[in-house]
């Protein structure tokens, strides 16, 4: 008997399932950053808003990269449903702390897929995710650096205004 399934799909189905979950996570991250951009815009952090609009776009690009990989591998890529996006934040510090938590959760999820790919011998998925592993280091570092900058600047007096201006340093 021929293995028609293997002839049709280049990755393991378990990895395909996890990649579809990751598509959902990236879409959720993109929508979350959009909510953060909205909060920044409404609260006068216009550079912060610009930063999060860009982050939202980047997360969508990540999502599409995974989506395309699943399709190219012969899999069933699923368009994600997004819900549970919070628009409530208490301060600019709260926003960036949430953003860091979000990035850490995405990193953990990527690492989990890499480990699964290794376990089931799915080298294609493992290699594909190499870029994402390094990208997440960069993403976490960016948010950490901004949180450090906020701490150094302080939020008293014109601090918030300076913070918003300095965020521009992390916009390419």
Partner 1 sequence: MEAVFSSKYYTFFQSDKERCFYIDLGQKVVRLSFCQLLALRQKVSNIRIEDHFDAELNTHGFEILALCNKEHLFILNTLEILDLKELLVGAFAMFEVSLSPVV
Q: Could you say whether residue 85 binds partner 1 (CB under 8 A)?
A: no
Q: Could you say whether residue 78 binds partner 1 (CB under 8 A)?
A: yes
Site string for partner 1, 4-43 (x = CB under 8 A): xxx-xx-xxxx-xx--------------------------
Q: Could you say whether residue 119 binds partner 1 (CB under 8 A)?
A: yes
Q: Could you say whether residue 84 binds partner 1 (CB under 8 A)?
A: no
Q: Could you say whether residue 91 binds partner 1 (CB under 8 A)?
A: no
Among 81, 83, 84, 121, binds partner 1 (CB under 8 A): 121
Distance CA 78, CA 84 (A): 19
Distance CA 19, CA 67 (A): 8
Among 42, 76, 86, 168, binds partner 1 (CB under 8 A): 76
Distance CA 128, CA 132 (A): 8
Q: Could you say whether residue 102 binds partner 1 (CB under 8 A)?
A: no
Q: Please spell the DSSP secondary structure of 65-100, one letter per residue.
A: HHHHHHHHTT----PPP--------SSHHHHHHHHH
């Amino acid at each position: 008997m021929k293995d028609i399934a293997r002839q049709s799909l280049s990755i393991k189905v378990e990895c395909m399932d996890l990649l579809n979950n990751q598509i959902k996570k990236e879409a959720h991250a993109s929508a979350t950053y959009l909510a953060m951009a909205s909060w920044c815009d409404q609260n006068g952090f216009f550079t912060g808003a610009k930063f999060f609009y860009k982050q939202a776009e980047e997360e969508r690009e990540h999502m599409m990269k995974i989506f395309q990989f699943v399709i190219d591998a012969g899999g069933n890529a699923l368009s994600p449903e997004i819900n549970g996006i919070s628009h409530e934040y208490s301060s600019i510090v709260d926003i960036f702390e949430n953003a860091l938590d979000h990035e850490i959760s995405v990193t953990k999820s990527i690492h989990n897929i890499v480990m699964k790919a290794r376990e089931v011998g799915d080298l294609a998925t493992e290699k594909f995710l190499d870029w994402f592993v390094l990208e997440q280091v960069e993403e976490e570092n960016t948010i950490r650096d901004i949180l450090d900058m906020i701490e150094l600047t302080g939020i008293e007096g014109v601090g918030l205004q300076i913070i918003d201006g300095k965020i521009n340093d992390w916009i390419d």
